[in-house]
Structure 1
Amino acid sequence: MAFVADDKLSNEIFSILESKFLFPLSFSAATSPGIPEAPPRGAAAGRVRVLSIDGGGNPSDGLLAAASLARMESSLRSRTGDASACIADFFDLAAGSGAGGVLVAMLFARGHEGRPLFSAADALQLLLAESRRRSGGVFGSASTRRGLFRGLFGSLPGDLLRQIFGDSSLRDTLKPVLIPCYDLATGAPFVFSRADAAESDAYDFLIRDVCAATCAEAVELRSVDGRTRVSAVGGGVALANPTAAAITHVLHNKQEFPLAVGVEDIMVVSLGASSAANFSLKGKSQIRRIAVDGATDTVDQSVSTAFGGLRTSNYVRIQANGFTSGGGTPKTMMEAIDEILSQRNVESSLFRGKKISEQTKAETLEWFAGELVKEEEQRWKSSTPTVMVKQMVTPRTSSATTASSTSRWH
């Protein structure tokens, strides 16, 4: 009984914190006495679908997330019977930091005929191929340990990010995206946002520059009109786990998400970076890694508690605890990732640490794919749009993009 009482107290404390600070719009009279109840949801209202991908410095960080999304994408195609279905078709907003930010850009940038530039399966293969090229087929090399994407940007016209994204900008993403960095000029986090880019050229940045900023040790970039300058270091410094930022964005962006008034109106899958089983306090890099992992876990636990009883239905976190990048070939790395996905998932609770789930990570991804399909089917039957994504009248185009838009209102 003491355990239940303490857990109830923790939830009551957090409900006050979330109503005032974390998610100011996600409160209810039931959990916060004296606070007006939020407007009721319509019977046909759906849930906003959010994808969040952590940023990390190891090559396996990006590969684990890409492999998870490739598995989910395969399930989506199987369930819908649509062989061309992509991750971007089933999410309304994506947030990514570091390697996760680059993945988000690849999966949500506009490609040929208004379709996503990459499927999750293609993105995974590109990461494997580039890792093989840069490290001679071995993931454990020194150049790769610094991070899968670091060093792939630059002024040379042949660099990888330029080849991938051309001159496309944030306005060319199919859905709202959030990609953070830390701005040394202001001493504060800076979040690159499609919603802001849609409002002003001063907040529209080339996607290749955004990817460079969220992965960089230090890089200078400017908006497409030159008015906004950012002196960026990697997103992991500011928001290694961007899940809370994504949820807050949904709850406050009433133009694009008019019906989202609380966490009950949102469904989230959060993909964590790998976390080593044991740390030593030797060296600044190890201490920094501990600090980043601690911050990402705190966000996970806070968000999990914010969802309360809905965390088993509306919030999924996939975390590879105890997994290190090590060395090996792309084949052995994928075998290791498949092994991780076959392990039971871990769930977090604020002030209570973590517990083992009954489902494996792969089973959890499969279940969430089913929920995404159900949400899509419900929207087709409903006359009430859950999401109203801003349409770009004259999207910026390049060799990697087209001027057409097939984004639809849900």
Structure 2
Amino acid sequence: MSIEIEIGRGKRGRRAFTLDDVAIIPARRTRDPRDVSIEWQIDAYHFDLPFISAPMDSVMSPETAIAFGKLGGLGVLDLEGLWTRYEDPQPYLDEIAQLPAEQATARMQEIYAEPIKPELITARIAQIRDAGVTVAGSLTPQRTQEHWKTVVDAGVDIFVIRGTTVSAEHVSTGDEPLNLKRFIYELDVPVIVGGAATYTAALHLMRTGAAGVLVGFGGGAGSTTRRTLGIHTPMATAIADVHAARRDYMDESGGRYVHVIADGGLGTSGDIVKAFAMGADSVMLGAALARAEDAPGQGFHWGHEAHHKNLPRGRRVEIGSVAPLEQLLYGPGKSAIGEVNLAGALRRALATTGYVDLKEFQRVDVVVTPYSTHAEV
């Protein structure tokens, strides 16, 4: 039962919780980690890991998408990024990594002003497809109508429509908005769409026919949406709300299952584990993968919002490099701060609480903690 709190005489608000506000409680049973499965499947595509890469230039290049796919995850390429604007984006990636902090945003706006080239979309998708891994590409809602046919014709397996927030009821007195329901119905590939932050918004996105809904708004290491727009969603509550929307949509639709994918603010293995405990089927990782030594960002991380031409709502942040991608995912870990061996940590958490797979783990007991875990010593 939700309880509203009186903020002042003229405004009431619902109490919401971040992932730092909750903790997982062990049960009476434990298991051997070797008996635990963290596999994930969406539509006809099966993955050894329930990890999706965030479509950001600092996280995924065609080469890292291929490597990530071969390691068991789903690499999503940003089809509005440097890889579809420049034949050879490496000099620009090198430049971004070397820019002084005070110049980074302005220079990135200039670099990303280069137009997107449809032939490069085709070439990058073909490169990933030729490597034999599942191909996923991402467009923002604003660019989907312009480029979707190029993406589908190039042979993408999973289409991602990702924005800071995506609505099934976008209203515009200027351009004709993207009709998500019609678009998804006419497409022959599964679509993942988001972000959504509330029960109602997620339910409406599920009704469009999406295969998965991204959960999150204004989170992540490089986002300043909360400071710029004053908009933010505490992730524990958001995931739980969307999980409830999926449950109700299954009843409404006669059993159609839509995947809940947590997206944003999942920088450590503990955050990832708690996202699954709150009801996620998979997680989209940005900073957690940008820390790989072979990530394109070279120890820096940024997203779409960081180079918006009029209102930047993000920034380039230095997060450092901690390990090669394979070690980052599978270990061995060399520190105890939750940045390396992400798969091992998730597997260990399921075993410690007595669950054999991620669907079961969504039933794990949690408590609201009286302190932020960042304050622990």
TM-score (norm 2): 0.32
Higher percent of residues as helix: 1
